[in-house]
Chain A
Amino acid sequence: MKQQRLWLLFIVAIFGVAFAPLPLGTAVPTSRTVRLEASSFEFSPAVVAVNPGDQVTIELAATDVMHGLYLDGYDLEITAEPGQTAVLTFTADKTGTFRFRCSVTCGALHPFMIGKLKVGPNLLLWRSVALSLLAVLFFISREPLFVNREPLSVVRKPNAEYEIRNTEHGIRNTEHP
């Protein structure tokens, strides 16, 4: 009975942690301007964090050669040349983490010129952290259940007809000599 209640409690907790809507993202959307400097072969800053609903303005300034910015998920693109700062304004209406990459072939390491846009807290990450904590808690609370059980390892019994041998090729049953 006690065990069953414990199980129920954990199942409810798991669903709660994984799917409960959180009262997050209540930060009042503001407009923010981020100046991104693009040089061969990096964006600075490489990680941009905003709140959901924010009106985001990205000023892309190329500091050596022509570069571009393509934002995954939002499917937006701009290019900038030295002396010609490009401006991109959009509403961060999709939450999550999105990659942005240089969209102009600018040199040998061009494919590695990437950055991240984080919209809102990374709920997926926090939920999975909480789930792992829950799992740990679960096993700790279950520990007394193991006390009266046999340990999980295979024990060779004196009168057994066969033994379990661990060979190179896996576990094999062999006749007892």
Chain B
Amino acid sequence: MAADWLTHRGVKSAKKSVNLSGEFLARFLLALLVIGTPLWIWAARRGETAVTVHALMPEKGGFLPDTLTAAVGVPLELNLISDDVMHGFAVGQTGWPAVDVKPGQMTEVTLTFAEPGTYTYYCTRWCGPNHWRMRGTIEVTGAEEREAPPASPPLYVELELDIDAPHELDILLKTPPSAARGAELDITLPSEFLSRDVYLTQTPFEVWQALRLASETAALTDEDVWDLVAAAWHSQTTDEQIQRGQTLYNQNCAACHGSGGGGDGVFGQAFDQASDFTDSQTMLGASTAVFDGKIRRGGMGTGMPYWGTIFTDEEIDALIAYLWTFQFPMDNE
């Protein structure tokens, strides 16, 4: 009898709990449906269009895939994920801020291009010695095929310069030329020395030679004339430009060329000896056009990356303005 009652109770309570959990389940499913459907639709829509881009160390493949396509005005959704270490992602010449791409974490970016063309995306975090090889391209097609404006060739092509030729001089400067001292000399330079053209196409040494022969400098020492060259160079750059150049330099170049420009960055010897921008023998024999060409095109099989598709013209100008300050320091008396 007692045993009977026990079983009866047991069955009853079990039934009740089944009812309860069934109701709960139904409510839960309903809630899931109400909340989840829009979420799911949104996720599925993004999933349809979003492209997953994996980031790996360059030795293991770099960006996968490394070619993407998009159309002007149509948002390109990317899901970025790292399969090893911390990487970064930025699109050259757009000015869009770089994002970090961390392992085990999805970084979503949406890119909308206003102009057709080929864009380069690149890693912005030093992830290994080959980090600078980690790049990909986005082919953006226009709504209607427009005639692309003919791009003017880089200066070094126009001038037919051999940017790989050695440009070492046999000179020795005791002190670095100073624009400030040059200004103090109170000499009005003939205007042809202050032209943009001279800054772009002539080497400082060529300008020094020409100035040396000018009648205005007859009474000056050789060092004074170098100070005049520094002043002429300084007149072609602005402080903001130099500051901008310094920021870009530290982010992109200092790892090889050294934060002091001495070619002694941690990767300065990883490939070929990175150029020493503090060496007056090589620097004063090169022109802005040579640097411009080298930065755009990169080295020929050397460790010097090409930056032509990454930086805008203004950014390259700013970088070169900063490079010259290693020869013509701004703040020495």
Which residues of chain A have a CB within 8 Å of any CB of chain B?
A: 62-66, 81-85, 104-107, 110
Residue contact B253 to A83, C-beta cutoff 8 Å? yes
Whole-angstrom distance between the alpha carbons of A66 and B267 in the complex? 13
Closest chain-A Cβ to B69's Cβ sits at a distance in Å of 30
Closest B residue to A82 by beta carbon equals B255
Closest chain-B Cβ to A60's Cβ sits at a distance in Å of 13
Residue contact A83 to B86, C-beta cutoff 8 Å? no
Residue contact B127 to A66, C-beta cutoff 8 Å? yes
Identify 9 new A-B residue pairs, CB closer than 8 A, beyond the known A62-B266, A64-B128, A83-B250: A65-B85, A81-B126, A82-B255, A82-B267, A83-B126, A84-B250, A84-B254, A104-B85, A105-B85
Closest chain-B Cβ to A108's Cβ sits at a distance in Å of 8
Task: Point out which of A65, A85, A106 has the most chain B C-beta atoms below 10 A from its C-beta.
Answer: A65
Residues of B within 8 A of A82 (CB): 126, 254-255, 265-267
Q: Is the interface of A mostly helix, strand, loop or mixed?
A: loop
Task: Point out which of A63, A81, A85, A104 has the most chain B C-beta atoms below 10 A from its C-beta.
Answer: A81
Is B125's CB within 8 Å of the partner chain A? yes
Closest chain-B Cβ to A62's Cβ sits at a distance in Å of 7
Known contacts A84-B254, A105-B103, A106-B86; decide if A65 and B259 are in contact (CB<8 Å): no
Known contacts A81-B125, A83-B266; decide if A66 and B86 are in contact (CB<8 Å): yes
Whole-angstrom distance between the alpha carbons of A141 and B285 in the complex? 86
Whole-angstrom distance between the alpha carbons of A81 and B251 in the complex? 8
Residues of A within 8 A of B103 (CB): 105
Closest A residue to B259 by beta carbon equals A83
Closest chain-A Cβ to B128's Cβ sits at a distance in Å of 6
Which residues of chain B have a CB within 8 Å of any CB of chain A?
A: 82, 84-86, 102-103, 125-129, 131, 250-251, 253-256, 258-259, 265-267
Residue contact B259 to A84, C-beta cutoff 8 Å? yes
Among candidates B86, B253, B256, residue contacting A104 with C-beta atoms closer than 8 Å: B86
Whole-angstrom distance between the alpha carbons of A62 and B255 in the complex? 10
Residue contact B250 to A66, C-beta cutoff 8 Å? no
Residue contact A83 to B255, C-beta cutoff 8 Å? yes
Residue contact A65 to B127, C-beta cutoff 8 Å? yes
Whole-angstrom distance between the alpha carbons of A150 and B332 in the complex? 90
Residues of B within 8 A of A65 (CB): 85, 126-128, 131
Whole-angstrom distance between the alpha carbons of A147 and B215 in the complex? 112
Residues of A within 8 A of B250 (CB): 83-84
Closest A residue to B268 by beta carbon equals A83
Task: Point out which of A82, A84, A107 has the most chain B C-beta atoms below 10 A from its C-beta.
Answer: A82
Among candidates B131, B251, B256, residue contacting A84 with C-beta atoms closer than 8 Å: B251
Among candidates A81, A83, A107, residue contacting B84 with C-beta atoms closer than 8 Å: A107
Whole-angstrom distance between the alpha carbons of A106 and B256 in the complex? 19
Closest chain-B Cβ to A83's Cβ sits at a distance in Å of 3
Known contacts A63-B266, A66-B127; decide if A83 and B258 are in contact (CB<8 Å): yes
Closest chain-A Cβ to B132's Cβ sits at a distance in Å of 11
Whole-angstrom distance between the alpha carbons of A111 and B86 in the complex? 14
Closest chain-A Cβ to B319's Cβ sits at a distance in Å of 14
Residues of A within 8 A of B82 (CB): 105
Residue contact B85 to A83, C-beta cutoff 8 Å? no
